[in-house]
């Protein structure tokens, strides 16, 4: 009896999540770490079929079924588990899963057990440091290139302007117009690159985010052109002020609206949702805000493939013929400087929802 108690305590104290099932795939063991990783409490898991509890993570049930029925063991198999967070929100966490059979005294398989290791902190630390290195390198490199290219570009523009005066009578003026327009476009990209390398300091103050979003929606409406995309505001009027820099945040939300407009077709619908998250647990180290504002830009556009999802914040990653691929990289940095978070969910062919969480101003 005492020994069973010790066993239970050991399982409870493990930092790995433990999920045990019986021969009928019903959950029999579920420790605290498993609750933390999945966001599902044990009252909802013990005694219930594994497949019913994790309908979105069929891979986990498939793995344990293979262990149970074929004796197949998995070691540190990496996958993504859905995570139920407070307020009906869903998240994803990378996990490393190891499975094992449970045998009776005769060596017959009577159950299976999975050990879940939460890889989110390991992954994000690793990814963050890779991203930082790359950004530092890219910043210096790109700024150097931008600087070098800007000067001759100025020369080309000047010469094209002089040329356009001379060719006015010949009907060739449209060519010089193209040169000037394209030079201006290149110049804008270079300015973005330089801005990226030497960012302006943010100046955060309590701020009504709805005012920022109103401006962005107004500008968005002017941008939709032939698509006539429908921009819908769905604000929570009780949302308190957030801490932010108006200019920088306008730039961020404009980037997001622009991406959505570019992603939708003629039946485009883009919704700007705001709400307050009171039970926000994922507060980063050093940041004590317990309440966050959530601002979501949701579209029914082309969506993003799983493969591209990983590259969205990489500077210069673009799938567009005329994109510079700096919009999200820049926005990511600005939100990070605000002590905020980004979340992107997308369904290829159906649409994309980009959520930004910003700290609420303390009263
Ligand atoms: N709402 C969205 N729907 C579909 N794809 C998106 C969406 N937002 C971003 N993407 C994808 O992410 C890529 C990177 O976006 P990002 O804003 O960083 O650069 P860009 O839009 O290509 O260029 P720009 O620098 O002009 O913004 C896009 O090329 C696109 O493939
Ligand atoms: Mg963009």
Q: Which pLDDT tens digits describe the chain residue by residue (363 residues)?
A: 566 677 778 888 888 999 999 999 999 999 999 998 998 888 999 999 999 999 889 999 999 999 999 999 998 888 888 888 766 667 788 888 999 999 999 989 999 999 999 887 766 666 667 766 766 676 677 777 777 787 788 888 888 888 888 887 777 777 788 888 888 888 887 887 777 776 778 889 999 999 999 999 998 998 888 888 999 999 999 999 999 999 899 989 999 999 999 999 988 999 999 998 865 544 444 444 557 899 999 999 999 999 999 899 988 889 998 788 888 988 998 998 898 888 899 999 999 999 999 988 876
Per-residue pLDDT, 288: 47
Taking the CA of 268 as reference, the closest ligand is 1
Q: Which H helix or E strand runs over 101? A: strand 90-103
Tell me how far the alpha carbon of residue 228 lies from the centroid of ligand 2, in angstroms. 19
DSSP-H helix ranges across the chain: 2-13, 32-38, 50-53, 58-70, 120-167, 173-197, 209-223, 246-263, 306-309, 327-337
Residue 356: C-alpha distances to residues 127, 275, 295 (Å)? 20, 11, 5
Q: Which H helix or E strand runs over 54? A: none
| Cα 284–chain centre separation | 16
Residue ranges covered by each domain of the chain = 2-118, 124-197, 205-359
Instruction: With H, G, I as helix, E, B as strand and everything else as coil, classify residue 288.
Output: coil
Tell me how far the alpha carbon of residue 260 lies from the centroid of ligand 1, in angstroms. 8
Exposure string for 287-326, b = 16+ CB within 10 A, e = fewer: eebebbbbbbbbbbbbbbeeeeeeebbbbeebeeeeebbb
Strand partners of residue 117: 96
- Rounded to an integer, what distance in angstroms lies between the CA atom of residue 252 and that of residue 202? 13
Q: By alpha-carbon position, which residue is closest to atom 29 of ligand 1?
A: 318
* Nearest atom in ligand 1 to 313's CA: 18
Q: Which residues line ligand 1 (CB under 6 A)?
A: 255, 259-260, 263, 299, 301-304, 308, 312, 317-320, 323-329, 352
- Rounded to an integer, what distance in angstroms lies between the CA atom of residue 37 and that of residue 20? 15
Q: Is the fold of 2-118 the same as that of 205-359?
A: no
The distance between the two most distant Cα atoms of the chain, rounded to a whole number of Å, is 102
pTM score: 0.58
Q: Are strands 269-277 and 230-234 parallel, antiparallel or unpaired?
A: parallel
The residues whose Cβ lies within 5 A of ligand 2, an ion, are 259, 327
CATH entry 3.30.565.10 includes domain 205-359: yes
Tell me how far the alpha carbon of residue 251 lies from the centroid of ligand 2, in angstroms. 11
- Rounded to an integer, what distance in angstroms lies between the CA atom of residue 94 and that of residue 79? 6
The CATH number of the structural domain formed by 2-118 is: 3.30.450.20
């Amino acid at each position: 009896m005492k020994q069973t108690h010790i066993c239970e305590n050991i399982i409870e104290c493990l930092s790995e999540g433990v999920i045990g099932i019986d021969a009928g795939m019903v959950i029999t063991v579920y420790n605290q770490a498993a609750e933390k990783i999945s966001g599902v409490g044990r009252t909802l898991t013990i005694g219930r079929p594994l497949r019913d509890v994790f309908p979105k993570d069929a891979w986990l049930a498939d793995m344990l079924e293979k262990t149970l029925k074929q004796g197949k063991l998995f070691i540190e198999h990496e996958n993504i588990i859905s995570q139920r967070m407070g307020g009906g929100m869903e998240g994803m966490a990378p996990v490393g899963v190891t499975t094992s059979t449970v045998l009776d005294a005769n060596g017959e398989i009577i159950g299976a057990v999975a050990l879940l290791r939460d890889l989110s902190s390991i992954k994000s630390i690793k990814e963050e440091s890779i991203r930082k290195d790359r950004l530092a390198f890219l910043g210096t490199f790109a700024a150097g290139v931008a600087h070098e290219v800007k000067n001759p570009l100025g020369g080309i523009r000047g010469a094209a302007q002089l040329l356009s005066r001379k060719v006015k009578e010949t009907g060739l003026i449209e060519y010089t117009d193209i040169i000037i327009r394209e030079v201006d476009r290149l110049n804008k990209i270079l300015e973005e690159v330089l801005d990226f390398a030497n960012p302006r300091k943010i100046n955060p103050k309590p701020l009504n985010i709805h005012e920022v979003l109103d401006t962005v929606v107004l500008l968005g409406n002017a941008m939709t052109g032939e698509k006539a995309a429908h921009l819908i505001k769905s604000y929570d009027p009780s949302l308190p002020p957030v801490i932010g820099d108006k200019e920088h945040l306008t730039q961020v939300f404009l980037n997001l609206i622009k991406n959505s407009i570019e992603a939708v077709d003629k039946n485009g619908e883009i919704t700007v949702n705001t709400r307050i998250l009171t039970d926000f647990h994922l507060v980063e180290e050093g940041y004590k805000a317990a309440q966050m504002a959530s601002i979501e830009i949701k579209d029914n556009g082309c969506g993003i493939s799983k493969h591209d999802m990983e590259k969205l914040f990489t500077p210069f990653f673009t799938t567009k013929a005329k994109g510079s691929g700096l919009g999200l990289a820049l926005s990511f940095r600005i939100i990070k400087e605000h002590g905020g978070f980004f979340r992107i969910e997308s369904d290829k062919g159906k649409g994309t929802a980009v959520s930004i969480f910003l700290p609420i101003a303390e009263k």
